[in-house]
Chain A
Amino acid sequence: MAEALDLSLYAKPAGDGTLGMDVAVEGIACGGCIARIEDAVKRLPGVTQARLNFTNRRLHVAWSDDVIKPAQILQTLETIGYHGHPFVPLRAEQEEAAEARRLLRCLAVAGFAAMNIMLLSVSVWSGNVTDISPETRDFFHWASALIALPAAAYAGRPFFASAWQALRAHSLNMNVPISLGVTLALAMSVVETAHHAEHAYFDSAIMLLFFLLVGRTLDHAMRRKTRAIAGNLAALKGETAHRLVDGELVGVPVAALQAGDRVLVRPGERVPSDGVLLSGTSEIDESLITGETMRRKIAPGTTVYAGSMNYSGAFTLQVTTPGGATLIDEIESLLEKAASAKSHAMRLADRAARIYAPMVHTTAALTAIGWLIAGASVHDAVVIAISVLIITCPCALALAIPAVQVVASGALFRCGVILNSGDAIERLAEADTVIFDKTGTLTLPEARVVNAGDIDPVLLQKAARLALSSRHPLAIALSREAVVRTPFDDATEQPGRGVWVMLDGSEARLGNAEFCNVAQPAANERGASTICFSHGGRSANIMISQKLRLDAAEVVNSLAKLGLDVRILSGDRNAAVRPIAEALGVSQWLGELKPAEKIAITESLREQGRRVLMVGDGLNDAPALAVAHVSLSPIAAADLTQAQADAVFLGEKLAPVLEAVLIARRARRLMSQNLWLAAVYNAVAVPVAIIGWVTPLIAALAMSGSSIIVTLNALRAYRGRRS
């Protein structure tokens, strides 16, 4: 039955009679795809605009109403080999886009001002050693002031605003000394210019702003890109629910469900939303929610949660809370507590600022007092003190960390790790204990055949090919083994029992033991589910179970070699956890844990002074992820869990976890190297400034030089294995 797909939720009127929709597109490989996609979509009747953004892999389509349905656009994409899913841009993303434009505007203004002031300053510097007249010098200084003051007022806003916020909260951040330095430098320059002095510091102040804005803009751009890709992945994961409207089925995006809607859930589908069963019975797998791999029987009146996998029968659900945004009350309250208790690891840059800022201010004050005692005039003492402030302005220091972060998050991105929070790199590098969840994290998110070696390959292939005709989750797991991917013709499914077909003159049956006329298989302790197959007098019991990620053992081993203490905490039965822990060589494991117990263990480890890296995917892991020092989550994880994690990793392998730790450690090393470089620069420059030898020329050169060295050093974080 072809079911109508209703995507009107995503189509937004553009005002000129057309509708617009944004689609995240999967499968774009090269520049050639741009033309293919745009041409194909533009050929649809009524489409007025199709523009693909290659940077964030999103297609914007506009069409006149009533000519085509939005679903046709997705079908067109399917026919040329791309998978698309419509989405509504998050508000946070729109705000970030606006912030990026604001930063770029500030950068442009600062760049323009810096270039022109430099032009004037170089003339003054060369004039000072030759024959510039005081009138011309004053004219140049006033011209510089005319450019510098409005430019600083405009381009400095990101720093001033943040510094003001910090001061109001009675704390210091890196922006406080920056703002103070820039303001004082400009104020002093104006005073000096009014007194026809030889030197003014307009150039230093504006160059400082320019370099800092370069760092911020890069940092912001990188974060925005990874955020966009993560948003696309979330959209592509978005599933459709079958809503019952007047007895007819209409496919709607899960996001369009409302409380009270009735929804049909077929076997092999995930429950789209929290709700109460109205009719039908089934078994559901709640491993994504509780970690428990044993299935639960459900009947009318039972409450089910979004994300559960429906196994045996179709049922109708009344939606209680739409969008699958809810979770079990217990987890919700734990999560609230965890989020408020989370130790706010202070960022390296802020820690440096807290030591650095008072030191700089004290040094400057002492310099002024020292010169006064030594008999200098008040004017000279103040000028020298301010030049100390300017030369120590943490240009290199403020670039030292963002630059490394930008480069390292690029390296992480290439390894399939997408960062959710900016300071995760620092915390990742500090981790000394790794806690893995089992289901979906150490194991693959989907079940696989585990005893393939014990079964005649010919028989297994027949079974796997027959399994292609069924939508039962066990059959879907089995069908992954099929080499020939075309289903048998005339295969018939008996819902809840099995599927059969005539093959070489005899019946081939795949299903439960009774259906296949074989003896009931003995219960096995590994917690695997069994599916039977019989054909021509031969039969096989095929065991389906969670399978370890291919490189799990290798990764766990390497992590242990790096000196990390690897543990497993699972919500699943001990019988299911033990073989996995043994296979991986992890001696410290615990099973049958409730979410609260996972938190308790994580917290007690923290109290012992350990820094815990938590890797988990289930809803039951979400609170523990929030409590842990740093957390990672696979892309297949529950939405809420992903939102809690500091980073998300892609793919079927566990290797990104190891790569993330390695890259973060290297980045951390580079960050402290950079801080040391900045410290050495200050150790040299500050005494020179205190003596009173610093001219604006030296200040400008020293600051740019140290910034460039620090940035070049940061680029080394990009090295990393490509995977």
Chain B
Amino acid sequence: MNVLVYLLPIALGLGLVGLLAFLWALRSGQYSDVEGAAQRVLADDDLER
């Protein structure tokens, strides 16, 4: 069972990365306009017109 000694920290570390990613997204304002984001993804503003 010695494998747990490093597997467990790895599993927790991965979860922690997800948590930090969420906190970063929150801090950079990505949750301030969720409806707008849903609409913007449909806009073709990246195409040449």
Contacts and interface: CB of A to CB of B under 8 A. Distances in A.
- The SS class assigned to the A binding surface is helix
A136 B1 contact: yes
Contacts of A464: none
Interface in A284-307: none
25 contacts: A30-B39, A31-B38, A31-B42, A34-B40, A34-B43, A35-B45, A52-B36, A54-B35, A55-B34, A55-B35, A97-B32, A101-B26, A104-B26, A108-B22, A108-B23, A109-B19, A112-B19, A115-B15, A116-B11, A116-B12, A119-B11, A133-B1, A136-B1, A136-B4, A147-B12
Contact of B39 (A54, A143, A147): A54
Given A54-B39, A108-B22, A112-B19, 5 more contacts: A31-B38, A34-B40, A55-B32, A112-B15, A136-B1
A105 B36 contact: no
A121 to B, nearest CB: 13
Nearest to B22: A108
A54 B36 contact: yes
A30 B34 CA distance: 14
B39 A31 contact: yes
Contacts of A56: 33
Contacts of A108: 19, 22-23, 26
A222 to B, nearest CB: 13
A693 interface: no
A54 B33 contact: yes
Interface residues of A, number: 25
A139 interface: yes
Contact of B40 (A31, A104, A139): A31
A139 B1 CA distance: 11
A104 B31 CA distance: 10
In the A-B complex, the 4 residue pairs with the smallest Cβ-Cβ separation, listed nearest first, are A31-B39, A54-B36, A112-B19, A53-B33
A115 B18 CA distance: 12
A52 B33 CA distance: 9
A105 B11 contact: no
Contact of B36 (A55, A97, A136): A55
* Among B4, B18, B39: residue with most chain A CB under 10 A: B39
Contacts of A139: 4
Interface of A: 30-32, 34-35, 52-56, 97, 101, 104-105, 108-109, 112, 115-116, 119, 133, 136, 139, 143, 147
Interface residues of B, number: 24
Contact of A112 (B16, B26, B33): B16
A116 B19 CA distance: 12
Contacts of B42: 31
B27 to A, nearest CB: 8
Nearest to B31: A104
Contact of A35 (B8, B12, B33, B43): B43
Contacts of A55: 32-36
Given A115-B15, A116-B12, A105 B26 contact: yes
Given A30-B39, A55-B35, A112 B11 contact: no
Contacts of B33: 53-56
Contacts of B1: 133, 136
A108 B40 CA distance: 26
Contacts of B18: 112
A488 B34 CA distance: 48
Given A31-B43, A112-B18, A115-B15, A53 B36 contact: yes
B22 to A, nearest CB: 5
Interface in B2-19: 4, 8, 11-12, 15-16, 18-19
Nearest to B37: A54
A27 to B, nearest CB: 16
Contacts of A52: 36
A53 to B, nearest CB: 4
Contacts of A116: 11-12, 15
Contacts of A143: 8, 12
A475 B21 CA distance: 61
Nearest to B39: A31
Contacts of A147: 12
A637 to B, nearest CB: 28
Contacts of B39: 30-31, 34, 54
Given A31-B42, A119-B11, A133-B1, A53 B32 contact: yes
Contacts of A112: 15-16, 18-19
Contacts of A30: 39
A31 B34 CA distance: 12
A32 B42 CA distance: 9
